[in-house]
Homo-oligomer: A and B are copies of this chain.
Amino acid sequence: MRKNYHIYAAYMKALSDETRINIFDMLAQGELCACKILEEFNITQPTLSYHMKILCDSGLVSGRKDGVWMKYSINRDNLEIVKELFEGIGVSLQTQNNCTAKCSAKC
């Protein structure tokens, strides 16, 4: 089963903006409405809307309409996929720790 680097890259791209990864981390504390998020940044409302759309389109964040408000939260399943990618890389690095010398391919 080959890895889908396209979707991994899409997740990373969604978080590659300082404002967006900050928002993502805020959402770790729980669901938030757009207006609450907006208070924390020096950006206009359309710019926030733009960023939230990117986060939602990536699948890392979910939005639901609650009356007048849009409430955003982290999509746990997709966060898990990202977590597992980096954990897997970490494990691979540990595993090849003690055979690097003898295993390193000649160029």
A residues apposed to B, CB below 8 Å: 3, 5-6, 8-9, 12-13, 15-18, 20-22, 24-25, 28-33, 35-36, 69, 71, 74, 76, 79-80, 82-83, 85-90, 92-93, 96, 100, 103-105, 107
Contact = CB atoms under 8 A, between A and B. Distances in A.
Contacts of A82: 86
10 contacts: A8-B21, A9-B15, A9-B18, A12-B21, A25-B85, A28-B89, A74-B93, A79-B90, A82-B86, A83-B86
A80 B87 CA distance: 9
Given A6-B18, A25-B89, A79-B90, 20 more contacts: A3-B25, A5-B21, A5-B25, A8-B15, A8-B21, A9-B16, A9-B18, A9-B21, A13-B16, A28-B88, A28-B92, A29-B96, A30-B96, A32-B105, A36-B107, A74-B93, A79-B86, A80-B90, A83-B87, A86-B86
Contacts of A31: 100, 104
Contacts of A107: 33, 35-36, 69, 71
